[in-house]
Amino acid sequence: MHEPVLLRRQGHPDATLEAYVADGGLKGFARTREIGQAATVAVVTESGLVGRGGAGFPTGRKWESVRTAAESERYFVLNADESEPGTFKDRVMIETDPYMVLEGVLIACYAIAATRAYIYVRGEYRGAARLLAAAATQLAAAGHLDGIAPGGRPLAIEVRHGGGAYICGEETALFRSIEGYRGEPMSKPPFPTVAGLFRKPTVINNVETIANIPDILSRGAGWLQRYGTDRSPGVKLFSVSGHVGRPGVYELPFGAPLQELLDLAQAGRDLRALLLGGAAGTFVFPGDFDMPLSYEGAQSRAATLGSGALIAFDQGTDLWRVAERLGNFFAHESCGQCVPCRIGTRRQHEMLAALADGSGGDGERERIATLGQVMTDASICGLGQTASTAVRSLIDAESRGLLAV
């Protein structure tokens, strides 16, 4: 039985700064101040931590490239615009332990000499935003933000609210949103570490990623590797919803079998399929429920962990109807900037609706696959590039006979 690490303070009565410090909080930040910027980044790099938002990019590499950037104006952005369907782990993380999240922010800002920190919170997460803002105020009042910003100035932490657009969770669109423009993605390169927020070198990290940081600093670079697999060190938060007895957020070490997660969430034995990785993820069928929940484990089954969202569907579920809803989601959330996504998500939804209604045929399946490749290849950002991933995995499963009832 895995003893929670990130969620170890779940059920603690009050998330106050005093309680956090009494429970060993801020030790990681103290360590950072002791060893300095370069050594802090080195510890994060050595720990093997990779981003938990879905892309899995090594966190230390992001930090190092901003730490060593030529420009002195740099930003840190915490991406708390959690909007992937079926994903709610960041909200639970923030509501469970806002101070641990913020300690990670302080360490990051100190390590990269950030001139300012932005926390971009999903608009609907009003409670989480309030908690973070209140915790930041407490940290400031207690003097913990002093001397973090360059020139010995106190760090300014600004909490921003999203306006309800999924696309603003995409990092470059998120920057545009903070800058006051329409949330439209920009091309990469240049990557945020080179030209991010206000075109300045920027580290942008997911909430869960940053929540790992305090322990990595206080317990050492090798700590993370006590959990998980060689290629996926650490623990992961999974958001489980759908046809299970106990939906919620579960923490497991990487590499734990998918079935263990299903058992924790009290899934019945009559599951038809799972959607793993959110709307941009893939359908997983019972034959793959022994899959190890690690980046490499998922990859070996042509699946993706994404942000760790798992939606369960029982035998009574019409998976084509699910696909139609996913199609509707992407068509609704496309920003409209590029042709493949703007029109493609719309056409995809129309074709999926036809399939779900039983009026579509093989022509629709073929067109969806063709269109999916166009969107994947030619769209500007990850939204359009992955808008057909789940749908195509369903078509593929059908061709392998997995949808037969």
Partner 1 sequence: MQDTFAILIDGKEAAAHAGETILDALRRAQVDTPTLCTHEHLTPAKACRACVVELKGSRALVASCERKVEPGMELRTDSRRVLEARRGVFELLLSQNDVSAAPALVLQAERAGADRERYRGQRYDRGLHDDNELYVRDYDKCILCYRCVEACGPDVQNTFALTVAGRGFSAGIAAGYGESLPDSACVFCGNCVAVCPTGALMDKREHTLRAEGRWDESRYDVVQTTCSYCGVGCQLELHVDRRSNQIVKVTSPGDHSITQGFLCVKGRYGYSFVEA
Decide the pairing of beta strands 235-242 and 309-314: parallel
Q: For partner 1, what does the binding mask look like between residues 142 and 181, x meaning CB under 8 A? A: -----------------------x----------------
Q: What is the DSSP string of 36-54?
A: -HHHHHHHHHHHT-B-SSS
Nearest Cα to Cα of residue 197 among 82, 78, 106, 91? 78
Closest approach, Cβ 331 to partner 1, in A, equals 6
Closest approach, Cβ 326 to partner 1, in A, equals 14
For residue 109, state whether it binds partner 1 (rule: CB under 8 A): no
Closest approach, Cβ 48 to partner 1, in A, equals 23
Closest approach, Cβ 262 to partner 1, in A, equals 32
- The set of residues, in sequence order, having a beta carbon less than 8 Å from that of 236 and lying 6+ positions away, is 52, 208, 228, 251, 252, 253, 254, 293, 305, 308
Which is nearer to partner 1, 65 or 376 (by Cβ)?
376
How many whole angstroms separate alpha carbon 298 and alpha carbon 302? 6
- The set of residues, in sequence order, having a beta carbon less than 8 Å from that of 130 and lying 6+ positions away, is none
124's tokens: 């609907």
**Backbone φ and ψ of 69, nearest 5°:** -65, 150
Q: Which of 239, 282, 304, 345 binds partner 1 (CB under 8 A)?
A: 345
For residue 346, state whether it binds partner 1 (rule: CB under 8 A): yes
Nearest Cα to Cα of residue 79 among 107, 50, 52, 43? 52
Nearest Cα to Cα of residue 307 among 341, 275, 262, 265? 275
Q: What number of other Cβ atoms are within 10 A of residue 404's Cβ?
A: 6
For residue 391, state whether it binds partner 1 (rule: CB under 8 A): no
For residue 350, state whether it binds partner 1 (rule: CB under 8 A): yes
Which is nearer to partner 1, 65 or 259 (by Cβ)?
65
Closest approach, Cβ 352 to partner 1, in A, equals 11
For residue 61, state whether it binds partner 1 (rule: CB under 8 A): no
Closest approach, Cβ 366 to partner 1, in A, equals 10
Decide the pairing of beta strands 248-253 and 282-284: unpaired
Q: Which of 338, 390, 391, 395 binds partner 1 (CB under 8 A)?
A: 338
Closest approach, Cβ 347 to partner 1, in A, equals 5
Looking at 40-48, 255-263, 303-311, 370-378, which segment touches partner 1 (CB under 8 A)? 370-378
For residue 299, state whether it binds partner 1 (rule: CB under 8 A): no
Q: Which residue shows structure tokens 């306006």?
A: 163
Which is nearer to partner 1, 322 or 338 (by Cβ)?
338
Q: Which of 196, 247, 344, 360 binds partner 1 (CB under 8 A)?
A: 344
How many whole angstroms separate alpha carbon 287 and alpha carbon 130? 43
- The set of residues, in sequence order, having a beta carbon less than 8 Å from that of 134 and lying 6+ positions away, is 98
Contact 341, 375 (CB under 8 A): yes
How many whole angstroms separate alpha carbon 405 and alpha carbon 399? 14
Between helix 389-399 and helix 362-378 the angle, nearest 10°, is 140
For residue 340, state whether it binds partner 1 (rule: CB under 8 A): yes
Closest approach, Cβ 344 to partner 1, in A, equals 6
Q: Which of 70, 143, 187, 269 binds partner 1 (CB under 8 A)?
A: 187
Q: Which of 343, 369, 397, 403 binds partner 1 (CB under 8 A)?
A: 343
For residue 371, state whether it binds partner 1 (rule: CB under 8 A): yes
Which is nearer to partner 1, 193 or 385 (by Cβ)?
385
For residue 325, state whether it binds partner 1 (rule: CB under 8 A): no
Element (H, E) at 123: none
Q: Which of 79, 379, 389, 393 binds partner 1 (CB under 8 A)?
A: 379
Q: What number of other Cβ atoms are within 10 A of residue 382's Cβ?
A: 18
Q: Which of 336, 357, 399, 400 binds partner 1 (CB under 8 A)?
A: 336
Could you list the residues that contact partner 1 (CB under 8 A)?
Answer: 165, 182, 187, 331-340, 342-347, 350-351, 367, 370-371, 373-374, 376-380, 385
